[in-house]
Amino acid sequence: MIEKEILEKANTWLNGNYDEDTKAAIRKMMAEDENELTESFYRDLEFGTGGLRGIMGVGSNRMNRYTVGAATQGLANYLLKTFGNNGLKVAVAHDSRLNSRSFAEITAAVLSANGIHCFLFEALRPTPELSFAVRFLHCNAGIVVTASHNPKEYNGYKVYWEDGGQLVPPHDKNIIAEVNKISSVDEIKWEKIDKNIEIIGENVDKPYLEKILSVSLHPEIVKRHKNMPIVYTPLHGTGITLVPRALKQLGFENVIVCSEQAEPDGNFPTVKSPNPEESSAMELALKLADSVKAGLVLATDPDADRMGIAVRGADGKMQLFTGNMTASLLVYYVLSEHAKKESLSDKFIVKTIVTTELIKDIADDFGIVCEDVLTGFKYIAEQIKNYEGKKQFLVGGEESYGTLVGDFVRDKDAVSACCMIAELAAVLAENGKTLHSLLNELYGKYGFYRTELVSVTKKGQDGAKAIADMMVRFRENPPKEIAGSKVVKIKDIQKQTLTDCLTGKEETLPLPKSNVLQFFTAAGDKITVRPSGTEPKIKFYFEAKADLRDFESQEKAENFLTKKVKKMKEELM
């Protein structure tokens, strides 16, 4: 039996100004699939702090032209309230997902109908280029239609503010409020005004690529290693539009694109998940690297903001690097090169609180400020904005495969990251080294780190309570020891406190409130616990540290850390 409220909402769509295909799909669900009808209408697709994300289909809880239209109308209303109706401008981009172009065109049409000038990219483009375009074209906001690395059934709608960063307070909540006020499809202005839509492409591509080239630190070395083989896969996404071109402009002439994954395709036919974090998504590229004897594989997710890499090790085998490893290498490269030429006292870097402490160790060694921010690249962008005109941002990163060099983009940027990591590989080759050997050098100098993320799913109302109870338990009875090492510091981001467990002294943390706990041990380990903001999960980020000098070999240190992380999991989960 279908619940009354769900039937009422479905009938509202049947009787409203919705197209006939939509109504036919609703009637079909009513007759044949009550479960799908329930899933499609039991709630409204929530416009969260970053925008929309959901399964595509018919209904109030699905990504479709009507939910996209309502989100755009709410955003337009907020822009008009905030800036007035004089000269408003918004940039719109999209990725390779199914319906992405259609949703982007609907977005542009609604904006134009509200008297807002819309810059619409001519075809798919990387998300970081949208962030660049917002500032380059002096826009009030930006929108990109993408569901990042989610499965093919999903699509999404991310909103950027005038600084080129994703929404942060107070604009995120204020826009949500305006979107939630749209109670009827009749409130959406659908009629496109052609003169308010301007198609963009090469006029933004070229200056964006020029900015990427401007952060290159050793173009002369790249030219000497121009034939270095590099395998690249866009995983059927937008990276194909600019990553090979950017690498070529930097000077690399032997970029081999994985042909099976080169074509943009929202069905992502060669992968289970179009995510460079997943080893299975990299299989074709790794096979190609072996056949062409390449030492570096680069991969980008569908909207080209995340980069995954694989590197050939001393044993001749390709090794997948984590986001923490790659970010640490880029931070070290950027800081070491800048330190040779200038003081770093007026510069800073940023990482998220769940990202490896190896980056903080490197920053301390170079005497540069390393800011810790909440999880999410929008907080890195916010920090860049806060320091604007005071200190120069050099590089930032997060464990989830996102990095940024320079401040011309205000989001993670896999296009520039691919260029920088390829350049670093060339610089190392000049000195008979590899990315693999440099990472081992960092471990020897700063400490050997092993990280692991574990997500525990707890579905339904009971699951939500179980997650809440776990957080209460950790707060009220925090562990005194983890994996044989004393807990010496506790960060409670919800209470905004840092507690020294040895002295009992408490300091105030300069972070926004968030339901996150962090435990630091005397051995240099870090454990972060936080409920997911988008899924019924609680996440545990484990980071164990060892001094390589205490072990006969790196292999023995790795075995020690593997056992240590296993013990952490047994004690805390």
Active site residues: 148
Which amino acid does the sequence have at 315?
Answer: D
- Phi/psi for 502 (5° steps) reads -80, -35
Residues 52, 67 contacting (CB under 8 angstroms): yes
Token output for 58: 């018919």
Other Cβ atoms less than 10 A from the Cβ of 71: the count is: 27
Q: List the alpha helices (DSSP H) in 1-119.
A: 4-15, 20-32, 34-41, 65-83, 100-113
Token output for 453: 């993320």
Rounded to a whole number of angstroms, the distance between the first and last alpha carbons of the chain is 39
CA distance 250 to 244: 10
Q: Which of 304, 288, 307 is nearest to 231 (CA)?
A: 288
CA distance 187 to 173: 21
Q: Which of 384, 349, 392 is nearest to 369 (CA)?
A: 349
> Within the chain, how many helices (H) and strands (E) appear?
18, 23
CA distance 175 to 159: 10
Report CA-CA distances (Å) from 121 to 100, 116, 304. 12, 16, 15
The DSSP secondary-structure symbol of 166 reads: B
CA distance 568 to 573: 8
Beta bridge partners, 89, equal 117
Residues 68, 96 contacting (CB under 8 angstroms): no
